[in-house]
Amino acid sequence: MDGRLPRVPTLALGILSITAFGSWFYGYGVLVEPIAQDTGWSSTALGGAYGASLLATGILGALVGRALDHVGSRRTFLVLGAGALVFLWLTSLATSAGLFVAAATLGGGFVGAGGYYAATSAVMARLVPEQRAKGITALTLFGAFASPIALPAIAWLVTSLDWRPTLRILAVVVGASYVLAAVAVPDVRPEAAEPLHLRAAARTAFDSLVKRRVIASVSVMAAATAVLLVQQVPVMVEAGMALSAASAYAGARGFLQLGGRLPLPAVVRRFGSRLTLQGSYALTAVATVVLVGAGTPLRAGTYAVIAGLSIGALAAIEGIYAAEVFDGPTLGTSLGIMSLVRGIGAALGPTVGGALIDLFDRQVAALALAFTAAVVATILVPRRPRA
C-alpha cells in the first residue's frame, strides 16, 4: 500500500457527491422562486416537497445500505441512477402542486439515498479499509465544491431555459453520475457467505449500547446543525445586520468547511476518531453561542470561522467513526440506518426550533435548542468497543 487512494473510483464517487449535493440539497433553493412564480404553487407546498425528499432520503438510505451489503455497489448505483432520472424528470412535468410534491419527494430521495455521504462512505470504507479516514475525507472535499459549482450553473440554466428544462438536465446529470460510479467503482460488498435478512441486519445496528449511543448522537447532532443552518441568517438580521451581509457571512461559513476537512486525516491520526468527533460537536455548540447577537462583522466572521471548521469536519468524521464502530458485513445497512435517523433529527430540529421562536418571539430560542442538542450529542458519543 503506497498510501494513495485509487484515483478513478475516488474521482467517480467524488463526482457523484458533487452532482447529488449540488443538484438537490443545495440546488433546490435556486429553483424554488422560479417555480413559484411560474406556477403559483404555495411556499408551503414547495418547502414541504424539500422536507419530504429529505425524509425519503433517510428511508431509502436504509434500504440502500442493505442493498450495498447484499448485492454490492454496482447494481445499487444503477437502480438509484434510474430512479433519480425518472422521478426528477417527472418532477419537471408536474402540472399540479400535489404531483410535484410526490415526484420531488421520490426524485430527491433517489438522489440523496446513494449520493450523500452515508452510502458513499460505506463504499469507500470497504474500498480502502486501511485508509478510511483519508478516503471519506476526500469524498467530503469533493462535496464541499458542490455549492460553488452547482448553484451558479443552475442559476444560469434556470434564467436561460426556465425551471422545467433545468430539472431535466439535472436528472440526466445525476443519472449519468450514478452510471459512472457503477462502472468505475469496484463492486464492493462484504465477504459473507450468508448475508443476514434485513430485519436481522437492522437489529445489529442496535445490538449494543455503544452502537445505540452512536446512532442517538448522530440524530441529536443533526437536529442541532439543521437549526443552526436554518437560523444563521435570520439571527444575524435580527441582530441588526443587512440581509445581503448576513447571507455573505453564511456563504463564507460554507466555504470555510474546507478548513475543517483538509487537515482531518492528520487530526484523526493524532487524537483518534472519537475525540475528533467530540471536538467537532463541542465546537458546533460554541458556534451557536457566538452566533447569538452576531450583528457585527467581527462576531459574524468569528461565527463563520468556527461553524465552518466544526460543521466541515462533521460530515467526514461521523462517517469515519461510524465505519469503525459498525465495521462488518452489515456496515452498509448500519450506515443506512444512521442516514434515516439523521434525516429524522434534521427534520425535527427546525420544526421544534420554529415552535420555540413562535413561543418566545426571539430567534435566540432556537439557538438555545441547538446549543443544548450539540452538548447532549457530545456527551452521547461513546468509546469504541475494544477488539
Q: Which CATH number does the domain 199-380 belong to among 3.30.450.40, 1.20.1250.20, 3.40.50.2300, 1.20.59.10?
A: 1.20.1250.20
CA distance 256 to 249: 10
CA distance 253 to 170: 26
Residues 6+ apart with CB under 8 A from 347: 51, 54, 55, 226
pLDDT of residue 373: 95
* pLDDT tops 70 at residue 72: yes
**Percent of the chain's residues with pLDDT above 90:** 35
Weakest mean pLDDT among 123-132, 206-215, 302-311, 347-356: 347-356
pLDDT of residue 146: 78
**Percent of the chain's residues with pLDDT above 70:** 91
pTM over 0.85: no
* pLDDT tops 80 at residue 195: no
Q: Are 253 and 307 in contact (CB under 8 A)?
A: yes
pLDDT digits (tens, 9 = 90+) for 156-171: 888 899 999 999 999 9
Q: Do domains 8-189 and 199-380 have the same CATH topology?
A: yes
CA distance 137 to 168: 31
User: What's the mean pLDDT in 56-81?
Assistant: 88
Which sequence spans correspond to the domains of the chain? 8-189, 199-380
* pLDDT tops 90 at residue 51: no
pLDDT of residue 387: 42
Q: How confident is the model at residue 193 (pLDDT cuts 50, 70, 90)?
A: very low
CATH number, span 8-189? 1.20.1250.20
CA distance 196 to 19: 32
